[in-house]
Amino acid sequence: MSTKYDVVVLGSMHLDIKAFTATYPKHGDTATAKSITMIPGGKGANQAVAAAKLGGKVAMLGSVGNDGAGKQILDDLDSWNVDTRFVRRSEDLGTGTFIVEIDDSSENTMVGTMGADNSTTEQDIKTAMSQIDAPVLDLQLETCKESIMTALEEGRKKGMYIILDPAPADNYFREAMRYADCVTPNQQETERITGIKVNNRVDALNAAKAIVELGPKTAIVKMGDAGSVVYHEGQVYEIDAVKVNAVDSVCAGDVFAGALAVHYSQHKDFLAAVNFANRAAALKVSRVGNHFAFPTSDEMR
């Protein structure tokens, strides 16, 4: 018998080591950070927590290592009421780890290893999806291609609405676009997919149309504080950014994706979901921190 959820998330779960600095050190330099924290992250975990904190019943798919970092991540997900029963514990690979550097402008640069994130198998996904009933599948490109393609295929078979966050840009592969209903790239990811450099909303619209030609029904091109351009069912919508005092841009895109997924799953109003996601991401940018800084459903009322 299947368990009912609002959103199923396939994605990465890894430990983020975040260093806050005044400015990025030059190549070869040593810099002293203002602070360093070690917290659970990964695009998949972030999006699952975002959806759960905004009132969704969420199942997590993916893999962690059978190590202390993996336990920390699973404990964190459990604390936010994300169902982790389908998460694989790898005996062969350690939990993925990323180093995140954030400067005074709130921009971030990352480097890391995927570790167990790349160990999820076709059978892991098929077994999990056979036990799941949900209207929305949310995924990124931060796990292995095998797991992504299997989830896309199984999600399509089950008639799920598929939201693809095509990040990171370096992991993009065109085949995934044939299965996605909605694709949500930022400027860098948009250029990777379409070859169009997005400098303004005209560029964003041209890119969104090019994305839709690859298969999705909808494209949302995100431009940070310049807002977003949505090309949905042949119609164009320009969404202004919510003005906030930006202090930490890390996870903004993940909050957007999680918020979009949970709102659409519960209300089936796409444009309302986009605006909800836009507000949720803005609220996150105004706060320093990871999962504890994500907005809650009460704060979004």
The verdict on whether residue 43 carries a ligand-binding annotation is: yes
Query: For residues 217 and 232, is the Cβ–Cβ distance under 8 A?
Result: yes
Residue 169 known to bind ligand: no
Which one of 29, 133, 254, 269 is the catalytic residue?
254
Question: Is 222 marked as binding a ligand?
Answer: yes
Is 227 annotated as belonging to a binding site?
yes
Is 14 known to sit in a ligand binding site? yes
Do the annotations mark residue 248 as ligand-binding? yes
CA distance 249 to 226: 14
| 28 marked as binding residue | no
Q: Beta partners for 4?
A: 133
Q: How far is CA 98 from CA 13, 17, 27, 206, 223, in A?
A: 10, 6, 19, 33, 24
Q: Would the annotation count 68 as a binding residue? A: no
124 is catalytic: no
Instruction: Collect contacts of 224-233 with beta carbons under 8 A, ≥24 apart.
Output: 224/186, 224/187, 224/249, 226/200, 226/201, 227/201, 227/278, 228/204, 228/274, 228/278, 229/201, 229/204, 229/205, 230/271, 230/274, 231/205, 232/270, 232/271
- Residue 42 annotated as binding? yes
Residues annotated within a binding site for ATP = 186, 222-227, 253-254, 278
Residues annotated within a binding site for substrate = 14-16, 42-46, 142, 254
Residues annotated within a binding site = 14-16, 42-46, 142, 186, 222-227, 248, 250, 253-254, 278, 284, 287, 289
Residues annotated within a binding site for K(+) = 248, 250, 284, 287, 289
Active site residues: 254
